[in-house]
């Protein structure tokens, strides 16, 4: 029966005494009933010291993977997320400034229009209704929607008619195969 067999712990005292007597007859030493009752020998003390030193050395040299490894792996993602956030905030500020500038410009246009035509009631929403720009002398008033540029008078262009030949131009071609 092996020493780690659980059935051995259920062994009676008579069987244990018989086993110890047989060991004595065979010349084997009898094991102590308790490990704390045994007297340590110098060899056991040296072995224990060697085992303790080896355990300490392995503990010091063992590579410990702490939470800093996880943080180091997540650092590029955190930087990218932070960069995207900063870019988004700057784009929002730009959009807010542009919206404020458009609103200010619309208010100025409405103020100029009301200064030019004080008798006409002005529409409430400048973006949905057309604005009339002040007309110059001799020109009719132009109706513009917000965001459109005024039409400019272009000078007439000179068009010279060119007669094209019915045959293609053969000076730029090469003959590949003779007929």
> Does some domain include residue 30?
yes
126 neighbors 106 (Cβ within 8 angstroms): yes
> Does some domain include residue 92?
yes
Name residues whose C-beta falls within 8 Å of residue 117's C-beta, 6 or more positions apart in sequence. 132
pLDDT confidence of residue 39: 78
Same domain as 44, residue 18: yes
Question: Which tokens sit at 60?
Answer: 């010091």
DSSP 61: H
3-state secondary structure of 20: helix
> Does some domain include residue 168?
no
pLDDT confidence of residue 123: 54
Mean pLDDT by 10 residues, the chain (179 residues): 63 84 81 68 89 90 76 91 95 96 94 78 50 54 64 76 71 72
Among 75, 90, 112, identify where a domain stops. 112
Cross-strand bridge partners of residue 132 = 143
Cα atoms in the Cβ-side hemisphere of radius 13 Å centred on 6: 0
Same domain as 106, residue 71: yes
pLDDT confidence of residue 129: 47
> Does some domain include residue 142?
no
Question: Which tokens sit at 24?
Answer: 């004595």
Rg of the chain over Cα atoms, rounded to whole angstroms, equals: 51
The total domain count for the chain is 2
pLDDT confidence of residue 169: 67
pLDDT confidence of residue 128: 47
pLDDT confidence of residue 71: 85
Name residues whose C-beta falls within 8 Å of residue 49's C-beta, 6 or more positions apart in sequence. none
Give the residue from 104, 101, 122, 125 showing the smallest Cα distance to 113: 122
Same domain as 78, residue 46: no
> Does some domain include residue 153?
no
Q: Which helix (H) or strand (E) holds 132?
A: strand 131-132
Question: Which domain covers residue 48, as residue numbers?
Answer: 12-61
Question: Which tokens sit at 167?
Answer: 């045959």
> Does some domain include residue 72?
yes
How many other C-beta atoms can be found within 10 angstroms of the C-beta atom of residue 131? Answer: 19
Among 26, 45, 61, identify where a domain stops. 61
Place of tokens 């500038």: 101
> Does some domain include residue 120?
no
Same domain as 49, residue 16: yes
Burial class (CB in 10 A: 0-12, 13-18, 19+), 19: middle
Among 50, 79, 112, identify where a domain stops. 112
């Amino acid at each position: 029966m092996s020493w780690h067999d659980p059935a051995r712990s259920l062994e009676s005292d008579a069987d244990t005494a018989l086993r110890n007597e047989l060991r004595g007859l065979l010349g084997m030493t009898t094991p102590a009933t308790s490990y704390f009752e045994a007297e340590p020998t110098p060899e056991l003390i040296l072995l224990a010291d060697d085992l303790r030193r080896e355990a300490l050395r392995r503990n010091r040299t063992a590579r410990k993977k702490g939470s800093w490894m996880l943080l180091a792996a997540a650092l590029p993602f955190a930087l990218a997320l932070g960069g995207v956030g900063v870019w988004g905030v700057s784009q929002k500020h730009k959009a807010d400034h542009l919206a404020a500038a458009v609103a200010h410009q619309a208010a100025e246009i409405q103020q100029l229009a009301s200064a030019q035509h004080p008798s006409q009631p002005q529409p409430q929403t400048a973006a949905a209704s057309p604005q009339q720009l002040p007309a110059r002398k001799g020109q009719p008033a132009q109706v513009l929607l917000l965001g459109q540029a005024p039409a400019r008078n272009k000078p007439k262009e000179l068009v010279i008619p060119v007669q094209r030949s019915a045959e293609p131009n053969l000076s730029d071609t090469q003959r590949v195969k003779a007929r």
